[in-house]
Chain A
């Protein structure tokens, strides 16, 4: 334990609906313009993935992923508690 120092940091989002691959995303911002809830904002640094200011407001609609011209640049991440179970159908 590093007890010698403590830092106050902003609380992270409870749930992160989106993940970006900065190697693939070229910061075209099409996802920002198609998001009806307006949770994403242009990165002050041109060509970088958007900044997310309101992750909790995501509707998980996926329009950002659908419009993205670079497959793999954005991933929609469904909250763990919303994930469903399936199993292989037993062979008769």
Chain B
């Protein structure tokens, strides 16, 4: 084996700086991850002309592109004992109301339909190879495998490494125009004004520098949540965060400039993953998510107790997979709150502090060898193997290095599943973060602009992205069917082209990494764990200063670096949204992980609502919405989806 060549070389792709290509479609999908592919498929099945604009490679792009081990909240699967209503209501209650009732109801109601679609496309969603016959988590009739709550069976174990290539092929089969390696940089609006109908977008090719001008009747934003706001690893920027490095929240930044309304952007949590500070996700011994409910031992081999919601020690492994006596069901798998509601709090290991007090000796280890054989195989081999990026770097690399799940104990490092330790000011948008406000059509406040997946507020998992993507795609199609022809304001296109070309026209200047590191330092210092009006105001000022003095020196040497530069400019915009949102909530909140030193009372009733922020003619407008603004879940769903309920497009 040899290290790859690292050398100066002539740019291998034809350069087309300043040239442009015009694309005219009915439905424009920005972002080719899970939500974006599903939005495109829904629109194409409605007979629309569709384009997907993806900065990376649609075949594997996005946070869920390389894998997914469990499909949460498929409440309509035939084995589920829960209704979509009771599961969604539990998810809302678990987060003290700070959750997206609409998008999670869609997830609970339609997620299972998408799984069946995936199966038709070639994705693997059942144990068709009969590897787990007789397992307590297998339904013998359907061959579905379930995770977490084996009694209520609403979350499925799946073979998610098969999903993204299947979606990609389906997009191609439906003749969706796929524009890979293209970064959408600006939403185009009617008259070029903030707050008007969205009529398309400008994009730039990261290999050739060519501009793409997209004109569309309807646009669906399917990009990631913001990242690299507080965390930046200069040596390993690719793993600065949990999600892939090009998931930088470009949609949030573009939406903000266009006048989209956001909520919950004040919420951030202490970091869980970054660079060399943590171990690769799912790669250490733990008990959560992919590793639920692995047995653990301390350094002397003493078994660590599992407890139920009342602190009662669970005697057997099978107890970890069923609700406590008197409890109907529990929430586990990634979507549950950091502060779980008693009603749906699931089994867990005894807290680390208590274990240390009781004399359990560090380090702790995951004890796969002691797990029942099929549970062990479900964790190591199925879930570690199918989840996120575990197939090659974890399952493959550890196996090659000699790790044997039948005989080895795998060390645990952090508290629970975090596998790293961080400072309070090192933060991340994780665990139902902020995003765009949506209505029952998943439309934003702007005409012609829809949102799905991580673009929405309080988003989380793969199933949520798939279900909301498909839903937004079909509602955007319905709008496109009746919408007037879009008119693009040429001055808006020219201004965007000028902004972008300035970055490459300079002979020298600041690189994107220095600017990104500068932004994260500002956010750590002025928007850390404890916030107050002065800190946040200074943060905004410093951000503006570096915008004027340093961002204007930003320099790209080729189209690849151009995209990295444009991303950091978006990161600066996202930091600004967050600072404005933090200034707007003048109260502390436990579930929003939001501490205002100048407003220390936790969750005063008058602030128990969504605070919203948006731009109007360049000014920040704040507002509020009731936590249950979406009204009755079932009634509203039925009223907005008569076509779907009659089987249209399925």
> Which A residues are within 8 Å of any B CB, using their own CB?
10, 12-22, 33-44, 49-63, 65-66, 75-76, 78-79, 81-82, 84-90
Say whether B12 contacts A82, CB under 8 Å.
no
Which A residue's beta carbon lies closest to that of B60? A63
Rounded to whole Å, the gap between the CB of B90 and the closest CB of chain A is 33
Interface CB pairs A-B, < 8 A, 20: A12-B6, A13-B6, A33-B57, A36-B61, A38-B206, A42-B12, A49-B2, A51-B7, A53-B9, A54-B560, A58-B238, A58-B239, A60-B389, A61-B393, A62-B391, A62-B392, A63-B65, A66-B392, A85-B411, A86-B403
Q: Which residues of B contact A38 (CB under 8 A)?
A: 56-57, 181, 206-207, 560
| Given A60-B239, A63-B65, A90-B301: A49 touches B4 (CB 8 Å cut-off) | yes
Residues of chain B contacted by A42 (CB below 8 angstroms): 12
Q: Which residues in A have their C-beta under 8 angstroms from that of B560? A: 38, 53-54
- Contact partner, A65, options B12, B62, B246, B392, Cβ 8 Å: B392
Q: How far is the CA of A52 from the CA of B5 in the complex (A)?
A: 6
Minimum-distance CB pairs A-B, first 9: A62-B392, A36-B56, A19-B1, A52-B4, A61-B389, A14-B235, A81-B276, A57-B238, A36-B61
Interchain CB contact under 8 A, B280 and A51: no
Whole-angstrom distance between the alpha carbons of A56 and B275 in the complex?
A: 10
Please give the distance in Å from A73's CB to the nearest CB on chain B: 10
Partner of B396, one of A39, A41, A62: A62
Question: Which of A49, A55, A79 contacts B6, CB < 8 Å?
Answer: A55
Of the candidates B57, B246, B369, which one forms a contact with A89 in the assembled complex, judged by CB atoms under 8 Å apart? B369
Q: Mark B406-445, 1 if CB is under 8 A from A, else 0.
A: 0111110100000000000000000000000000000000
Return the contact of B239 from the options A40, A44, A59 (Cβ within 8 A).
Answer: A59
* Given A59-B389, A61-B389, A65-B396, A51 and B9 contact (CB-CB distance below 8 Å): yes
Contacts A41-B12, A60-B393, A63-B66 known; A35 to B4 CB distance under 8 Å?
Answer: no
- Say whether A51 contacts B244, CB under 8 Å: no
Question: In the complex, what residues of B have CB within 8 A of residue A58's CB?
Answer: 236, 238-239
B234 nearest CB neighbor, chain A only: A56
Render B273-292 as a binary contact track against A, CB cut-off 8 A, 1 for contact.
00010011001100000000
- CA gap between A61 and B392 in the complex, in Å: 7
The smallest beta-carbon distance between B48 and chain A, in angstroms, is 26
The reply on B367 being an interface residue by CB < 8 A is: yes
Residues of B within 8 A of A22 (CB): 2
Question: Are B57 and A35 in contact (CB-based, < 8 A)?
Answer: yes
Picked from B4, B8, B396, B408, the residue with its CB within 8 Å of the CB of A19 is B4
Interface centre among A42, A61, A78 (most CB of B within 10 A): A61
CA distance A40 to B181 in the complex (A): 13
Which residues of the partner chain A approach B105 to less than 8 Å between Cβ atoms?
none
Cα A82 to Cα B185 in complex, Å, equals 34
Q: What is the bound-complex CA distance between A56 and B409, given in angstroms?
A: 31
- Would you call A76 and B207 a contact (CB within 8 A)? no
Answer whether residue B648 sits at the interface, using C-beta atoms and an 8 A cutoff: no
Interfacial chain A residues near B407, Cβ < 8 Å: 88-89
Query: In the bound complex, what is the Cα–Cα distance between A44 and B13 (angstroms)?
Result: 11
Cα separation A78 to B301 with both chains bound (whole Å): 28
> Is the CB of B365 closer than 8 A to any CB of chain A?
yes
Give the residues in chain A near B547, CB-CB below 8 Å: none
Q: How far is the CA of A82 from the CA of B278 in the complex (A)?
A: 7
Q: Assuming the A-B contacts A33-B57, A84-B284, are A59 and B396 also in contact, with contact meaning beta carbons closer than 8 angstroms in the complex?
A: no
Q: Chain A contacts of B55 at CB under 8 A?
A: 36
Residues of B within 8 A of A37 (CB): 56, 238, 244-246
**Interface pair A61/B6, CB less than 8 Å apart:** no
User: B241's closest neighbor in chain A, by CB?
Assistant: A59
A27 to B7: give the CA distance in the assembly, Å.
Answer: 17
A52 to B592: give the CA distance in the assembly, Å.
41
B residues within 8 A CB of A59? 238-239, 244-245, 389
Pairwise interchain contact B409-A89, C-beta atoms closer than 8 A: yes
Give residues of chain B (237-254) contacting chain A, Cβ–Cβ below 8 Å.
237-239, 244-246
Nearest-neighbour CB distance to chain A for B303, whole angstroms, equals: 12
A22 CA / B239 CA spacing, docked (Å) = 27
Nearest B residue to A49, CB-CB: B4
- Give the complex CA separation of A57 and B57 in angstroms: 15
Q: Which of B207, B239, B244 has most A Cβ within 10 Å? A: B239
Complex: chain A residue closest to B181, CB-CB: A38
Question: In the bound complex, do residue B280 and residue A20 qualify as a contact, i.e. CB atoms below 8 Å apart?
Answer: no
> Which positions 1-42 of chain B face chain A at CB distance < 8 Å?
1-10, 12
Find chain A residues with CB under 8 A from B589 CB. none
**How far, in angstroms, from A79 to B283 measured CA to CA in the complex?**
13
* Bound: A74/B206 CA distance, A: 24
* Distance of A2 Cα from B532 Cα, bound (Å): 59
With known contacts A57-B245, A63-B60, A19–B3 Cβ distance under 8 A? yes
Indicate with 1 or 0, residue by residue over B258-283, a CB within 8 angstroms of chain A CB atoms.
Answer: 00000000000000000010011001
Q: Cβ of A61 and Cβ of B60 under 8 Å apart?
A: yes
Beta-carbon contact of B3 and A16 below 8 Å: yes
B236 touches A36 (CB 8 A): no
**A39 to nearest B CB, angstroms?**
8
Given A15-B235, A49-B5, A63-B66, the answer on whether A82 and B408 have CB atoms closer than 8 Å is no
Tell me if B392 and A34 are in contact (CB < 8 A). no
B536 to chain A, nearest CB (A): 31
Q: A10-B8, A61-B392, A86-B408 are in contact. List 15 more A-B contacts (CB 8 A).
A: A15-B235, A21-B2, A36-B246, A37-B56, A51-B9, A53-B9, A56-B234, A57-B245, A58-B238, A59-B245, A60-B393, A61-B66, A78-B393, A84-B279, A84-B398
In the complex, which residues of chain A have a beta carbon less than 8 angstroms from the beta carbon of B4?
Answer: 16, 18-20, 40, 49-52, 55
Say whether A89 contacts B12, CB under 8 Å. no
| Contact of B161 with A by CB under 8 A | yes
**Residue pair A44, B65 in contact (C-beta under 8 Å):** no
Closest to A55 in B: B6
Tell me whether A88 and B408 are in contact in the complex, defined as CB-CB below 8 angstroms, given that A38-B56, A41-B9, A53-B560 are known contacts: yes
Write the chain B residue with the least CB distance to A92: B301
Closest residue of A by beta carbon distance from B558: A53
- Taking the closest CB of chain B, its distance from the CB of A70, in whole angstroms, is 13
Which partner residue on chain B sits nearest A15 by CB separation?
A: B236
Please measure, in the bound complex, the distance between the C-alpha atom of A21 and the C-alpha atom of B284, giving whole angstroms: 29
